[in-house]
């Protein structure tokens, strides 16, 4: 179960953050390696030759790629504490469905906010907020998506909160006002040490996002 | 006896893979055929988020998204396991399943729908590079799952017939037996399995389906270059 654990990551990545939180939830010690995505290391290219992306978890020399697959792997291998997925197959299916929704809808919509033309950005914003409202509907009055305890969907979604401040300042998207339950949920998650300790500084994320956006969006 | 229903269509590769899984496990189910051009209240009720097929109903509870459904089936009916037991092997099966669905199918579709020209040639080359990656995964094995059909075989199961149909409609040849001998052999083995054969739609039906889709796609490209 133990053995050597290495994480290849890029600090602002919401996908990498999922893995950091999952590792922390399980109390796993690991070696962290920061990647420069403009100059990918031979290790990254060797461990993820197909997609060439972070995060990559290397466990006893064997690579696991794709953030949600890594989180599931961590949950299955270190199954003695802090289960992330529920044990009931139907609830597990619901958890997988919503984590998949975060990837296929929330993330995809969030990128549309960066489209080059103004009216496309507005459309992107609208779509992004709609996906967040759908998540808000799913959360309902539960403290976490996992119910009483922090779980797989929470791990999958909370990293996106690290970018909300940037979206507010750069794109005038006020998620706190538009989706108050999501905002409250995020703040609740941030009270957990496993989340707070790994969360990047929101100002640094804002600077990074502002810099990167220049490549995609006209002034 | 558990009550299992599947809302789907008979030509959707995402739906057929669910039927394969249920049949491999000997699970009886009722297929509720959906008209995607006129979605039923049932589909909209049970998959309000995506409004897509397949949707599995088990004891009245809906499960959507084909990979999610496959894992649910595997966890609920434990005979004839689809996913490997070892967590690392499981993560690899899931990785290749994602690769097949997110890269390969779209790569092949792109090569099919593009009209003759440089872009089409590039797309053909890309699609073959993707198939070459799958070829490496099946080399030396009878099935992606090993000795028996597993999760990844069901997910890659679009290759024998859906790929053929796209090739025909797109006037392309991608799955060259010489270049991809292992994938080609796997394809023949897979489709010969009686359970697989039972659900697979006839070639003409898929050709019609892709003809419709590809013509429409081409018309969009003309309207908005």
B168-216 pLDDT, tens digit per residue, is 999 999 999 999 999 999 999 999 999 999 999 999 999 999 999 999 9
A32-91 pLDDT, tens digit per residue, is 999 999 999 999 999 999 999 999 999 999 999 999 999 999 999 999 999 999 999 999
User: A115, A121 in Cβ contact below 8 A?
Assistant: yes
The Cα–Cα gap between B223 and A42 comes to 44
Is pLDDT of B91 > 90?
Answer: yes
Mean pLDDT, rounded, for B55-62: 97
Segment 33-92 of chain A within 8 Å of chain B by CB: 50-51, 59, 62, 64-66, 69-70, 72-73, 76-77, 89-90, 92
Q: Is residue A134 less than 8 Å (CB to CB) from chain B?
A: yes
CA angle A159, A162, A166 (to 5 degrees): 140
Nearest residue to A207 (alpha-carbon basis) of A159, A163, A172? A163
Predicted pLDDT of residue A214? 79
What residues in A contact B49, CB-CB < 8 Å?
101, 134
Query: Strand A31-34 and strand A62-65: pairing?
Result: unpaired
How many angstroms separate the Cα of A55 from the Cα of each of A19, A33, A52, A68, B211? 8, 10, 9, 10, 39
B102-126 pLDDT, tens digit per residue, is 999 999 999 999 999 999 999 999 9
What residues in A contact B84, CB-CB < 8 Å?
none
B60 versus B223: the higher-pLDDT residue is B60
Mean pLDDT, rounded, for B141-147: 95
Predicted pLDDT of residue A61? 97
What residues in A contact B65, CB-CB < 8 Å?
96-97, 100
The fraction of chain B above a pLDDT of 90, given in percent, is 95
Predicted pLDDT of residue A66? 97
Predicted pLDDT of residue A117? 85
User: A179, A133 in Cβ contact below 8 A?
Assistant: yes
What residues in A contact B75, CB-CB < 8 Å?
89, 92
What residues in A contact B88, CB-CB < 8 Å?
59, 62, 64, 73
Q: From the CB of residue A202, how many other CB atoms can be counted at a distance below 10 Å?
A: 16
Distance, CA of A80 to chain centre = 24
> With an 8 Å Cβ cutoff, are B90 and A89 in contact?
no
Give B164's pLDDT tier (boundaries 50, 70, 90). very high
> With an 8 Å Cβ cutoff, are B90 and A101 in contact?
no
Mean pLDDT, rounded, for B158-162: 94
Low-confidence ranges of chain A (pLDDT < 50): 219
Residue A77 has its nearest CB partner, among B63, B71, B87, at: B87
B64-84 pLDDT, tens digit per residue, is 999 999 999 999 999 999 999
What residues in A contact B68, CB-CB < 8 Å?
93, 96-97, 100
Is pLDDT of B2 > 60?
Answer: no
Nearest CA in chain B to A92: B72
Is pLDDT of B223 > 80?
Answer: no
> With an 8 Å Cβ cutoff, are B68 and A77 in contact?
no
Predicted pLDDT of residue B1? 43
User: B67, B97 in Cβ contact below 8 A?
Assistant: yes
DSSP secondary structure, B27-79, as one string: ---EEEE--TTS--HHHHHH-TTT--S-EEEETTEEEESHHHHHHHHHHHS-S
Q: What's the whole-number average pLDDT of chain B?
A: 95
Predicted pLDDT of residue A17? 98
Could you tell me where the DSSP H helices lie in A102-190? 108-112, 118-139, 152-157, 164-171, 175-178, 180-189
């Amino acid at each position: 179960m133990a053995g050597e654990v290495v994480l290849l990551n890029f600090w602002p990545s919401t996908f990498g953050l999922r893995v950091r939180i999952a590792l922390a939830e399980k109390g796993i010690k690991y070696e962290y390696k920061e990647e420069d995505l403009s100059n990918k290391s031979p290790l990254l290219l060797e461990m993820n030759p197909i997609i060439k992306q972070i995060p990559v978890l290397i466990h006893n020399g064997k690579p696991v790629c794709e953030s949600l697959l890594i989180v599931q792997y961590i949950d299955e291998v270190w199954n003695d504490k802090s289960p992330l997925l529920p044990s009931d197959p139907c609830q597990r299916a619901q958890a997988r469905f919503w984590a998949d929704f975060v990837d296929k809808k929330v993330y995809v919509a969030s990128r549309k906010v960066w489209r080059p033309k103004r009216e496309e950005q507005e459309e992107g914003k609208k779509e992004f907020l709609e996906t967040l409202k759908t998540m808000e509907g799913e959360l309902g009055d539960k403290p976490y998506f996992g119910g009483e305890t922090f779980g797989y969907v929470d791990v999958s979604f909370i990293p996106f909160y690290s970018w909300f401040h940037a979206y507010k300042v750069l794109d005038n998207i006020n998620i706190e006002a538009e989706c108050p339950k999501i905002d409250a949920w995020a703040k609740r998650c941030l009270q957990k040490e496993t989340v707070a300790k790994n969360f990047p500084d929101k100002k640094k994320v804002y600077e990074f996002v502002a810099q990167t956006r220049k490549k995609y969006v006209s002034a | 006896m558990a009550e299992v229903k599947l809302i789907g269509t008979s030509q959707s590769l995402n739906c057929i893979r669910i039927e394969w899984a249920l049949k491999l496990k000997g699970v009886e189910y009722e297929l509720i055929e959906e008209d995607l051009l006129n979605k039923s209240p049932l589909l909209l009720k049970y998959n309000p988020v995506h409004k897509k097929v397949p949707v599995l109903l088990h004891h009245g509870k809906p499960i959507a998204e084909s990979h999610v459904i496959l894992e649910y089936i595997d966890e609920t009916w434990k005979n004839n396991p689809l996913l490997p037991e070892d967590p690392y092997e499981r993560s690899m099966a899931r990785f290749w399943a994602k690769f097949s669905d997110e890269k390969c199918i779209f790569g092949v579709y792109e090569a099919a729908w593009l009209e003759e020209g440089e872009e089409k040639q590039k797309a053909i080359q890309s699609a073959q590079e993707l198939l070459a990656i799958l070829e490496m995964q099946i080399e030396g094995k009878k099935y992606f799952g090993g000795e028996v059909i597993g999760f990844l075989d069901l997910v890659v199961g679009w290759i024998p017939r859906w790929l053929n149909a796209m090739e025909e409609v797109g006037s392309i040849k991608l799955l060259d037996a010489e270049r991809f001998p292992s994938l080609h052999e796997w394809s023949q083995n897979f489709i010969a399995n009686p359970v697989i054969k039972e659900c697979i739609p006839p070639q003409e039906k898929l050709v019609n389906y892709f003809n419709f889709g590809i013509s429409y796609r081409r018309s969009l490209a003309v309207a908005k270059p």
